[in-house]
Structure 1
């Protein structure tokens, strides 16, 4: 009995400790910034030429790519004629000065539930800086000129997707007779944009340049975190190279030192809850990946090898830019390992199949809440026999509870003798005193994995169930599901035998209260899973108890 008590107390202490750690990580002080009205989008460039120093130097991409350019000359301010581009899934603003994407809204995703406003991923205004930059630096690159970023011209100031694809061309001609066309190509239903630089060297000298793509972001919080005490997903940069296919470099890392790596192919991304932006250079070359911090702005990006265009020749270089949700189907198509930005934690090997199963059930039932109920039933069915053995062991302990009480009264002062007699009873009646812990221990990895699935799956963002629950990714606003879950835990305890040790009995009675408290702020979808699981367990345990009692009556 002493061994049983020690093991039970240790198990409860471990579970409580893990839950406190998870609580501290997920529900500690939120980093979310207060909601602010969206400020007017502005060009990043002013009369002081500040932004020019944020561009990478690429005279020698392999050795000095991590050294920022210093520009002492004046930079002409953008005239404010931003270029508007609209597709079915993207609403962009492109600054003709540099051709940077300084605003990206996602009309398929609301900024908040029932807000009727598109979620804004990229923006350049008084509240936040988060933009995508690209250009040509190096020996003859127009972005490396002493006068700062080049000003492109465009045939129109507004473009809208009407067919299956849309092409937006920005052009400029250098004083050496080289025409550079920066071409953005959009496709219906796609969040990735093909960014191509077409160089036509009509001059008399060869043209040499390096393609760069980078993401510039300040250190403000994650606007896609929807609650003040909600789950905290990773916020920061991710690099994928041949040496490490998924390497996180957060803002704190960039404060301490620069990241730099060279790799064939790869990609760089800026990740937040549910959404990300990423640069994926064209496969087939050795690229330099780097991070820098300049003027309190975090910059992560890539540099291509130097390319040369002879006089009278033409050449193009390109990269793909993605700005959108963490959609596993699209991410898998864009680049290898880009789907890893959907971070399921260390239990990814359970979470990934759970997500695929959940998604398949949703295609059948058409409701994510029903899909969660469906996956609960399937998991319960898979663990049916294991749970049945555990419930039979608990039912037998309930049946022989009077005998255990008698042994305690008989040998109460001799703990060693009492433990020996209890072990004899367990062996004779084939009772596993720890069998009741198995269902919870087996369920915990599934529970934690589903926790990450619900947190990372953008499909569940603003996904309704029934009635007042309009967002399964957020907590139950009226705490009805957590309270019902606590009630079902209490009913389960009523069906279990009361531990003979008073300390154990008190601890077990506290569990429903403790779990209910922790579940108050969990996503409604996760609480729904645990509630349905408890209901199924109660039904299974009730039937087994009746079977054991029936067999005892016959004896």
Structure 2
């Protein structure tokens, strides 16, 4: 290749690189942080027209089959709506006094975007998104089944902050019959779990009966925590855990087709997205009804408890836990059995789970997630050393005797039978397995795919820096340097491999590094780092084996 040709190719490569950078600046897939908007009550003011106020609540036995509401259509009552602010070390919440629902959850430990001061908002109710946690008492006497709409609660303060070992926030509603319902939220330090307890003080002269419900309501908007549009995507939708199936995903499309309905002792219901989760976990020891439905464009997944009775003059309580936070395996395991399965590694979870454990163990030692990825790549490569060695030896022998195979092809021309016979004799004499370079690679693909899912699902990599220009391993390389290096290592690997005998196949193989480089441009940097280091290690191993095979005399 002359100097002029090298200069032209280099100039073309630089121009192409600048064009890709400019295109990504204008049209790239990196998600822009959504401008945060203050969450507001979903309930109308007293001056607005009547509405179907209970349309989101679970259906009760007294309702007709085609209705979602436990009461009739009615106007909202005229009391002033009020939002209560609650702050702990890891949670910032807004609770609507109308119904006592959690309408916003922000996570101060996780920022909205890299370098931002604003926390990531998981739950919210505004023009951007509707994603809230609702709970209440329905049934014969439940205040949330009242035809006049959901109950309005009162509190001592408008804002609360956790100081000490726990924070208890009581919302109180007194019914016309003298029944006092206290909706109690309990918070503890360093916990994404919120304990909900309903305390029913029946000061009336008649027995009281009701059911606890908890549900998560979300619209069909995109996942704000999804970092890339390329490759496989994390699941967005509802998840149920019952005794029949400990982990059952129900997508929004599934909800549109049919309602999910199951009765199970214990269990939980969650709404999952990339990196984060919200979940209702009922108290153990009772048979709960789990269901999903679509109402007014919102997707709802929740549970309803069995009926419980409170005798006149008596006090009873019912409780459940609500989790809103990151999908960190240890936190989910502590919250509920099988909740850690929402860190979804796909069908290869049995390979991915130990790899995830190993990645975190290495990080605890080295303190950098990028370095941890490098080390786990080395460990995986070491475990597969013999498998790779067999593949590389086969390819090295094919490369060594490539000229002889070409000579046989030219010698016999169109006589394919004689050519095949001569090839088989050469394979037997030199102990060449033509499939040896393929089968071991196929055998190790499950490990590669499993590790891909580990890196994709690990919330620990979100906004985690590596070195130099890589400040966030969960998003793409802003300058595409690592994908280009990865493509370069693929090209070097091809040079070490035997040239395919078919000219068309050889041309296709030469295009693969370019295609893979383009494909990896928008992959998260952590995934590209893994492939880059894996290629470098493969090149080193293949180079050594090639030299060994070339030094061997023929027939060995």
Q: TM-score, normalised by structure 2?
A: 0.90
Check whether the contact 2:167–2:186 (CA below 8 A) recurs between aligned residues.
yes
Moved more, 290-299 or 108-117: 290-299
- Residues 358 and 435 (structure 1), Cα distance of their counterparts in 2 relative to 1, 3 Å cut: same
Query: SS at the partner of 2:464?
Result: coil
1:250-261 superposed matches below 5 A: 250-261=251-262
The Cα of 1:91 is off from its aligned counterpart by: 0.2
CA distance in 1 between counterparts of 2:33 and 2:362 reads 36
The Cα of 1:253 is off from its aligned counterpart by: 2.1
- Residues 59 and 456 (structure 1), Cα distance of their counterparts in 2 relative to 1, 3 Å cut: same
Check whether the contact 2:241–2:269 (CA below 8 A) recurs between aligned residues.
yes
Query: SS at the partner of 2:550?
Result: helix
Q: Partner of 2:57 in structure 1?
A: 55
Moved more, 48-57 or 299-308: 48-57
Q: Partner of 1:526 in structure 2?
A: 527
CA distance in 1 between counterparts of 2:62 and 2:197 reads 22
The Cα of 1:41 is off from its aligned counterpart by: 2.0
Q: How many residues align structurally?
A: 526
Q: Partner of 1:323 in structure 2?
A: 324
**Per-residue CA shift, 1:391-446, capped at 9, x if unaligned?**
22222222222221221111122111111111111111111122222453234222
The Cα of 1:369 is off from its aligned counterpart by: 0.7
Does residue 44 in structure 1 map to residue 42 in structure 2?
yes
CA distance in 1 between counterparts of 2:395 and 2:258 reads 57
- Residues 60 and 325 (structure 1), Cα distance of their counterparts in 2 relative to 1, 3 Å cut: farther
Q: Partner of 1:177 in structure 2?
A: 178
Check whether the contact 1:262–1:289 (CA below 8 A) recurs between aligned residues.
yes
The Cα of 1:367 is off from its aligned counterpart by: 0.7
Check whether the contact 1:65–1:288 (CA below 8 A) recurs between aligned residues.
no
CA distance in 2 between counterparts of 1:66 and 1:253 reads 20
Check whether the contact 2:430–2:555 (CA below 8 A) recurs between aligned residues.
no
Q: Partner of 1:9 in structure 2?
A: none
**Per-residue CA shift, 1:314-362, capped at 9, x if unaligned?**
1110011111111111111211221111111122121111111111111
CA distance in 1 between counterparts of 2:175 and 2:251 reads 38
Q: Partner of 2:208 in structure 1?
A: 207
Q: Partner of 1:349 in structure 2?
A: 350
Q: Partner of 1:510 in structure 2?
A: 511
The Cα of 1:230 is off from its aligned counterpart by: 7.2
Check whether the contact 1:351–1:452 (CA below 8 A) recurs between aligned residues.
yes
Check whether the contact 2:29–2:522 (CA below 8 A) recurs between aligned residues.
no
- Structure 1 unaligned spans of 5+: 1-28
**Per-residue CA shift, 1:278-336, capped at 9, x if unaligned?**
11111111111112222222221111000001112111100111111111111112112
Q: Partner of 2:443 in structure 1?
A: 442
Does residue 366 in structure 1 map to residue 367 in structure 2?
yes
Q: Partner of 2:410 in structure 1?
A: 409
CA distance in 1 between counterparts of 2:455 and 2:317 reads 42
- Structure 2 unaligned spans of 5+: 1-26
**Per-residue CA shift, 1:112-157, capped at 9, x if unaligned?**
1112210111111122211111111111111111211111111111
**Per-residue CA shift, 1:497-533, capped at 9, x if unaligned?**
2233323322222222222222122221111111111
The Cα of 1:481 is off from its aligned counterpart by: 1.0
Q: Partner of 1:385 in structure 2?
A: 386
Query: SS at the partner of 1:159?
Result: strand
CA distance in 2 between counterparts of 1:189 and 1:65 reads 43
- CA RMSD of the aligned region, Å? 2.4
Q: Partner of 2:84 in structure 1?
A: 83
Q: Partner of 2:10 in structure 1?
A: none
